[in-house]
Amino acid sequence: MDLAINLTYILSAALFIFGLKMLASPRTARMGNLVSAVGMLIAVVMTLMNRGILDFKWIALGLTAGSLIGVFAARLIAMTAMPEMVAIFNGFGGIASLLVGWSVYHRAPGIELFLVISILLSVLIGGVTFTGSLVAFGKLNGVIGSKPVLYRGQHIVNSLVLIGIVTLAVLFGLQPAGGYLFFLLLVAMSLVFGVLFVIPIGGADMPVVISLLNSFSGLAACAAGFVIENNLLIVAGALVGASGIILTNIMCKAMNRSLKNVLFSGFGAADTSGSGELTGEVKPISPEDAFLILEAASSVVVVPGYGLAVAQAQHVVKELADLLEANGAEVRYAIHPVAGRMPGHMNVLLAEANVPYDQLAEMDDINKTMETVDVCLVIGANDVVNPAAREDENSPIYGMPIVNADYARTVFVLKRSMASGFSGISNPLFFKENTRMLFGDAKASIQALIGEFKGL
């Protein structure tokens, strides 16, 4: 029996690894998700058999409830709410690990040192992940202001909380059997620290925070695996933790910032307009005039941002692209690593509209040919096309790699108004000589362009 269980665990681990590998490409991501889900189902069934659970009524109830929630989330949650959903799912993973550690300790307070350390890690990382994810959810959802929450002596308060956590952990470790009060205080302080950890981070940095919290949820699950002595949970948690850290590092490099800067700089708290008020003439354009330029274009690049998700315009963008291609234009999509409000947000959004995968291009590849592009359509993006990152040394995003949309022969910026983006940074792109502002709801503006093409 033990041999069969271990072989099944190896099979599940292999499915996790292959599924994770397949997630690296939009073309295979959906199948990779299914492969990983099958691996988890096999793992859960085998774990229940291994534990000798005969009464499965509570397991069936949990499976039914979880499946219903999953179907609800997949079918009814709008793409604009996808970042919040990912954040809250990270939090659920964290609280699950915390409760596993708490349950094991509650049942058997007299435990050995290795199990004490595992429980501590499961509880502490899980608690921080849970409340940190709730704060991230609030910032993305608008319940909490997106700007960093900073106050005098903040670093001192955070340091004192950390010192308190370490002290309580040592006291608990010295006498776990009689340290229930210390344990409860540790749970409370881990939850408090999760809030303190995320509130100083601005909304513009939420994609990095979500990725980091995803990594934390994996590490918490890994620690919970040691708590319940389940090798597969250790492997799965380690995979999630490692992949989350790698993705976090990739996103930090995409912003030319360190993780320390993202977490502790309070980016977006102060005036982020740059070296001074931007001046220049804004040049609006009508859909009819924009159509005349697009109709003559032989190459078009679309730069999507969060505004595309808000307008739910991904399907009409695909329809416009089809019309442009039928008219002889080459259409590509420039994907910045931190566009949107979660890792891979734009990839998911465009995949929903069945945009061909080979039309999605990374920022570096697009930038090499941007000067030859006839029209660059910027739809709901701000910071990822902001020339201040190259030109203004006083700008908070100076040095951040961007999509060089302003290098195109003509730039159409689709926005509702001249308001700055989520980070609050003004964008000199709007005043460039080759930029035209197509004001209004992005979906309605694109539908007007489609109408002009179909009228032709």
The model's pTM is 0.81
Each domain of the chain, given as residue ranges in start order, spans 1-76, 80-270, 287-455
Residues 298/325, Cβ–Cβ less than 8 Å:
no
Distance from C-alpha of 1 to C-alpha of 453, rounded to nearest angstrom: 67
- Do strands 299-304 and 330-335 pair parallel, antiparallel, or not at all (unpaired)? parallel
pLDDT at 62: 80
Query: For 342, phi and psi rounded to 5 degrees?
Result: -155, 160
pLDDT tens for the 456 residues of the chain, in order = 677 778 888 899 999 999 988 887 777 888 998 999 899 888 888 877 766 555 677 778 888 888 888 888 778 877 677 788 889 999 999 999 999 999 999 888 777 889 999 999 999 999 999 999 999 999 888 788 777 888 888 889 999 999 999 999 999 988 888 888 999 999 999 999 999 999 988 777 888 899 999 999 999 999 999 998 888 889 999 999 999 999 899 888 877 788 887 877 665 555 445 545 556 788 999 999 999 999 999 999 999 998 888 888 999 999 999 999 999 999 999 999 888 877 788 888 888 888 988 899 988 899 999 999 999 999 988 889 999 888 888 888 888 899 999 999 999 999 887 776 666 678 899 999 999 999 999 999 999 999 999 886
Residues 427/421, Cβ–Cβ less than 8 Å:
yes
Going across the sheet that includes 299-304, the strands are 360-362, 330-335, 299-304, 375-379, 410-415, 435-439
Best CA proximity match to 207, nearest among 339, 400, 348: 339
Q: Specify the DSSP class assigned to residue 411.
A: E
pLDDT at 265: 66
Distance from C-alpha of 426 to C-alpha of 301, rounded to nearest angstrom: 23
Distance from C-alpha of 352 to C-alpha of 335, rounded to nearest angstrom: 15
CB-count burial class (<10 Å; 0-12, 13-18, 19+) for 122 = buried
| Topology of the domain covering 287-455 | Rossmann fold (3.40.50)
Residues 453/292, Cβ–Cβ less than 8 Å:
no
Is 205 catalytic? The answer is no
Residue with tokens 């999760």: 194
Q: Which of 383, 392, 406, 441 is catalytic?
A: 383
pLDDT at 275: 47
pLDDT at 24: 75
Distance from C-alpha of 396 to C-alpha of 274, rounded to nearest angstrom: 7
